[in-house]
């Protein structure tokens, strides 16, 4: 299967004229829905696979063309179920693969199922073939050496049944900072970006980025802190201003709002929020944990209902908060059940409401 295209994603948008235009957003030449389907949670079993498969098909029909996964999610099963769902959407749903923006990640050493001896599995799969050197691994299970990430990309493409992924993230690179000094970390990032630029040139990756948890949200003096300016500088070092470092992912929700409210980034001497810094560099921002793995789907302060009227559930209001925040390209939310798809994608019919976001922060 080929990759997402500007024309095909625009056609997907045009076919959903009943949805507000603001539900769709530009992403480096393609169009994505402001709500993306995540695949992190769930058991590693056939029942969860069936749930995700049905959810992806439903989501595609309700206005979601952004799919997010990682090779380590559910021991590689999440990638595989996305691949199967894309085939079903083409064969039975009248869709084309080029209409969907597929994102995956590499960094955490994944199992394939549940190995009897995990350490032996890692040795046999990665160390003995020369894919990983022991010094590449930090924290007991994270690596981002070029050879390793290239191997992971290949495995992801096979799992997905795709010739290319549209976004490839280095997964939680700040994990490395717990074990290596910052100078060595930046050299590792630079080497990873150089490899990913080669993959873009080879047509196996559309664009790349980093998917983070703590990195962009922490203070500049924190050990795990990631500087977006440094990341961009490393991308420019390997590929000039035509680099393909185009996307970042970080958690953003009602409880974790640093992306919008905390000036954790320094760009040319100016303190900026992560969203402001990303806008300065022309980088798209995907928000993970939009409803904090369901924790924000229960009773919230009445101010939330007032800020985002016309919605029926707290999960919908939490999702609307994220997608209404200026600078957020898409709100990612795990959807492994059809009822969750119906609930979450109902938000796509509502106009994003930036005024609601502003009012909540005024009250904070």
Looking from the CA of 178 toward its CB, the CA atoms found within 13 Å total 13
Residue 69 is predicted with a pLDDT of 99
The fourth-level CATH superfamily of domain 6-363 is NADP-dependent oxidoreductase domain (3.20.20.100)
Q: Partners of 106 in the beta sheet?
A: 170
Could you report the per-residue pLDDT of 23-52, keeping only the tens digit for each? 999 999 999 999 999 999 999 999 999 999
Angle separating helix axes 338-345 and 46-62, nearest 10 degrees: 30
Which residues neighbour 20 within 8 Å (Cβ) at sequence distance 6 or greater? 348, 349, 350, 351, 352
Residue 1 is predicted with a pLDDT of 64
Question: Contact, 114 vs 75, CB < 8 A?
Answer: yes
Could you report the per-residue pLDDT of 74-101, keeping only the tens digit for each? 999 999 999 999 999 999 989 999 999 9
Q: Is residue 300 over pLDDT 90?
A: no
Can you read off the two tokens belonging to residue 205? 């990756």
Could you report the per-residue pLDDT of 202-246, keeping only the tens digit for each? 999 999 999 999 999 999 999 999 999 999 999 999 999 999 999
Can you read off the two tokens belonging to residue 124? 């046999």
Compute the distance between CA of residue 304 and CA of residue 160 in angstroms, rounded to an integer.
38
Residue 2 is predicted with a pLDDT of 87
Question: Contact, 16 vs 90, CB < 8 A?
Answer: no
Confidence of residue 57 (pLDDT cuts 50, 70, 90): very high
Compute the distance between CA of residue 307 and CA of residue 358 in angstroms, rounded to an integer.
9
Q: Which helix (H) or strand (E) holds 267?
A: strand 265-267
Q: Which of 102-116, 186-200, 293-307 has the highest mean pLDDT?
A: 186-200
Looking from the CA of 256 toward its CB, the CA atoms found within 13 Å total 20
Residue 258 is predicted with a pLDDT of 98
3-state DSSP assignment of residue 175 = helix
Could you report the per-residue pLDDT of 195-210, keeping only the tens digit for each? 999 999 999 999 999 9
Distances (CA, A) of 185 to 70, 131, 151, 199, 226: 22, 19, 20, 21, 10
Compute the distance between CA of residue 349 and CA of residue 351 in angstroms, rounded to an integer.
7
Compute the distance between CA of residue 50 and CA of residue 356 in angstroms, rounded to an integer.
37
3-state SS of the chain: helix, strand, coil percent to 5? 50, 15, 35
Residue 364 is predicted with a pLDDT of 62
Let me know if 318 is exposed, middle or buried by CB neighbors in 10 A (0-12, 13-18, 19+): buried
β-strands 284-288, 270-272 pairing: unpaired
Which residues neighbour 302 within 8 Å (Cβ) at sequence distance 6 or greater? none
The mean pLDDT of 261-280, rounded to a whole number, is 98
Compute the distance between CA of residue 151 and CA of residue 145 in angstroms, rounded to an integer.
10
Compute the distance between CA of residue 206 and CA of residue 30 in angstroms, rounded to an integer.
10
Q: Is residue 55 over pLDDT 80?
A: yes
In b/e form, how buried is each residue of 155-177, taking b as 16+ CB within 10 angstroms? bbbebbebebbbbbbbbbbbbbb
Question: Contact, 321 vs 38, CB < 8 A?
Answer: no
Residue 67 is predicted with a pLDDT of 99
Can you read off the two tokens belonging to residue 8? 């095909």
Confidence of residue 114 (pLDDT cuts 50, 70, 90): confident
Residue 252 is predicted with a pLDDT of 98
* Mean pLDDT taken over the chain: 96
Residue 63 has φ and ψ, to the nearest 5°, of 110, 20
3-state DSSP assignment of residue 324 = coil
């Amino acid at each position: 299967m080929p990759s997402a295209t500007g024309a095909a994603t625009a056609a997907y948008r045009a076919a959903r004229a009943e949805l507000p235009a603001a539900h769709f957003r530009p992403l480096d030449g393609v169009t994505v829905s402001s709500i993306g389907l995540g695949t992190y949670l769930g058991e590693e079993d056939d029942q969860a696979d069936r749930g995700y498969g049905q959810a992806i098909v439903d989501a595609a029909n309700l206005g979601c063309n952004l799919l997010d996964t990682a090779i380590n999610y559910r021991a590689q099963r999440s990638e595989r179920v996305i691949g199967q769902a894309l085939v079903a959407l083409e064969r039975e749903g009248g869709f084309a693969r080029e209409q969907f923006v597929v994102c995956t990640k590499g960094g955490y050493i994944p199992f394939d199922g549940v190995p009897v001896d995990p350490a032996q599995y890692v040795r046999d799969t990665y160390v003995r073939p020369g894919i990983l050197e022991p010094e590449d691994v930090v924290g007991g299970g994270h690596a981002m050496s070029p050879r390793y990430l290239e191997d992971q990309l290949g495995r992801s493409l096979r799992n997905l049944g795709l010739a290319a992924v549209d976004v490839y993230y280095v997964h939680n690179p700040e994990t490395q900072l717990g074990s290596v000094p910052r100078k060595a970390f930046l050299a590792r990032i630079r080497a990873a970006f150089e490899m990913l630029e080669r993959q873009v040139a080879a047509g196996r990756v559309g664009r790349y980025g980093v998917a983070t948890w703590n990195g962009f949200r922490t203070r500049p003096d924190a050990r795990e802190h990631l500087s977006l300016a440094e990341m961009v500088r490393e991308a420019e070092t390997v590929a000039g201003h035509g680099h393909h470092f185009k996307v970042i992912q970080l958690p953003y929700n009602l409880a974790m709002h640093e992306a919008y409210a905390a000036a954790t980034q320094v760009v040319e001497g100016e303190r900026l929020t992560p969203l402001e810094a990303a806008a300065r560099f022309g980088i798209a921002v995907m928000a993970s944990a939009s409803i904090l793995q369901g924790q924000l789907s229960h009773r919230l302060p009445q101010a939330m209902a007032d800020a985002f009227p016309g919605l029926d559930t707290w999960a919908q209001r939490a999702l609307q908060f994220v997608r209404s925040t200026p600078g957020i390209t898409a709100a990612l939310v795990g959807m492994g059940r059809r009822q969750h798809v119906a609930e979450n994608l109902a938000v796509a019919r509502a106009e994003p409401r930036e005024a609601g976001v502003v009012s909540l922060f005024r009250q904070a």
